[in-house]
Structure 1
């Protein structure tokens, strides 16, 4: 098979197309013929060497059809999506014509959406849904603030929060992105100047739930945005991985505010966080009907993967990009 491999840790230029032996699925695995693969920032971190030793082939999610299932559960040709399960980290990932994935991380789907649209959905929407309904327990009528909303995951959070009936406040550092966030369902767009708590207070906003994609660099300010009995969930680290210096729960965590973390890369597909609990089929149906707004801003071929990673790392993607694999 053809696959995109990491020739050595480094920048986008270390990604190369290579011929590799076809993977053979073991018991408990499913072999998938990949039609498209979503591009995720995790791929770039693994490629760079920031996360230590990883698999030769990157890619943490795939959309395609079953090539073989030793258990006989999924018939060949069944349309599926696959998320995580060690892809790209401890086993070769989805930047390939074929990928073997643990069966617990494979979900059959029924949809006539293009493969490139299908591939833009599973990881970010499964993560967004899990955080909104689990960690943040969002209900219709509540106000949800999405910090870092123009990222691919941030857009999914805005989209799903609006679908859940919440009032959505979305943030961006770039005023030119405000229209995009409004189109996704944001009721209010704030320009993130690093002091959102001040803006929230000045506008008289009650923030019941806050999804933070920026991470440690703004943690104190994000916690200060939440209303009494509000919830804050950290979902990403777009602001960097540096730890929060001298964080003291007694002084930095407002009384009554609940703070949590959802790390999809570590838990989705495990017994505690089964993929079957995520309504992916319902989400695909809403995308098909236009109720949810999933459209990859750019689609790349195998030969364009270096450029794809450059765009992703530049922060100019404008949403979830994908690699189409013919």
Structure 2
């Protein structure tokens, strides 16, 4: 399949040494070349994720000079013909930012199994009334939230769900998706000023996040499912909040990456509780095809105002802007999904 015309060189934000946000530097580098099994994407916007903060710091097991695990944009080359030139797509994981250069750039190359169509042409997004920055909120966050909710936790209408760390972009997407299916959501946040915001997303109840949450639940409440996004620091407490036969999924580390120092299932895990983990790095594998996730349906819900997916902050693709976005993320001041628009 022929490629669209695109330049030999591009601007990209690179991490050439690990450290704080100031190590993110704009450079002019070669544009990726098309290879079988890959699609070249002209990036229109990309999301900012906590994984990239850890990559920038050198805390991730693997990372590339160009970080960034997701993007939305247009296909400009696809040697295998899986996508037509000009197709609007979302791409996530598949080694982006980790084993292959990622999305903090004007162009990227992604495995076709980690690319999903958002329509037939760019005009389809315009007809829905969606901007690229709105579309950029969706790929990584909602694909992960959907998989955790409906595959790992298997939540259903009428069931009760506790989401710890609900003001994160992941938590907000999970509230939206679960509430759409009639799940009764209780959310946690460290800030009481966020209560009404989370209820507006679909949460029926909101609690202050903090140590010993299980002891503060009225009437020793137990949930059908718990989505743990704070991480290892609250995991043992969360296990106490799940009913017999219920499920807990660990899928976030907002509280940091420090391991649990002393976990004894014999003493600390309730009998009959199902505990699982989900890492979005598996997307694109045979067990977790991206095609399993209804991203186009989610976009339609956003367009129809049934699903709230507005970016919390929109940044320009400039060195100083991306550095500041990382400072906001480190300070836990984003208040939702931040995106960068590439003009």
Shift of 1:238: 1.1
| Count of matched residue positions in the alignment of Structure 1 and Structure 2 | 324
Cα deviation, 1:97-122, whole Å, max 9, x if unaligned, reads: 11000000001112331000111111
Q: Does 2:186 align with 1:169?
A: yes
Shift of 1:204: 5.2
CA contact (8 A) 1:59 1:93 kept: yes
Q: Does 2:65 align with 1:56?
A: yes
Q: Does 2:314 align with 1:299?
A: yes
CA contact (8 A) 2:66 2:102 kept: yes
Q: Which residue of 2 aligns with 1:214?
A: 230
Structure 1 gap segments, 5+ residues each? none
- CA–CA distance in structure 1, aligned partners of residues 60 and 139 of structure 2: 23
Determine helix, strand or coil for the equivalent of 2:73: strand
CA contact (8 A) 1:217 1:244 kept: yes
Determine helix, strand or coil for the equivalent of 1:35: strand
- CA–CA distance in structure 2, aligned partners of residues 291 and 196 of structure 1: 31
Shift of 1:245: 2.0
Paired residues for 1:117-156 under 5 Å = 117-156=134-173
CA contact (8 A) 1:80 1:108 kept: yes
Q: Which residue of 2 aligns with 1:44?
A: 53
Q: Does 2:281 align with 1:272?
A: no
1:133–1:302: structure 2 CA closer, same or farther, 3 Å change rule? same
Cα deviation, 1:168-227, whole Å, max 9, x if unaligned, reads: 000011101111101110000001121111122x24533100000011111111000111
Q: Which residue of 2 aligns with 1:186?
A: 203
Q: Does 2:328 align with 1:319?
A: no
Determine helix, strand or coil for the equivalent of 1:227: strand
CA contact (8 A) 2:82 2:112 kept: no
Determine helix, strand or coil for the equivalent of 2:224: strand
TM (norm. structure 2) is 0.93
Runs of 4 or more above 4 Å deviation: none
Match of 2:175 among 150, 155, 158: 158
Q: Which residue of 1 aligns with 2:15?
A: 6
- CA–CA distance in structure 2, aligned partners of residues 4 and 240 of structure 1: 25
Determine helix, strand or coil for the equivalent of 2:211: coil
Q: Which residue of 2 aligns with 1:239?
A: 255
- CA–CA distance in structure 1, aligned partners of residues 213 and 61 of structure 2: 34
- CA–CA distance in structure 1, aligned partners of residues 180 and 62 of structure 2: 39
Higher mean alpha-carbon deviation, 14-23 vs 204-213, is at 204-213
- CA–CA distance in structure 2, aligned partners of residues 205 and 225 of structure 1: 7
Q: Supply the RMSD in Å over aligned alpha carbons.
A: 1.0
Shift of 1:52: 4.4
Cα deviation, 1:47-94, whole Å, max 9, x if unaligned, reads: 111114521111100100000000122111100000011111111101
Determine helix, strand or coil for the equivalent of 2:240: helix
Shift of 1:158: 1.0
Determine helix, strand or coil for the equivalent of 1:20: strand
CA contact (8 A) 1:17 1:302 kept: no
Structure 2 gap segments, 5+ residues each? 1-9, 120-124
CA contact (8 A) 2:231 2:254 kept: yes
Cα deviation, 1:233-274, whole Å, max 9, x if unaligned, reads: 001111121221221111111011111101112x11111000
Q: Does 2:275 align with 1:259?
A: yes
CA contact (8 A) 1:6 1:14 kept: yes
- CA–CA distance in structure 1, aligned partners of residues 62 and 221 of structure 2: 45
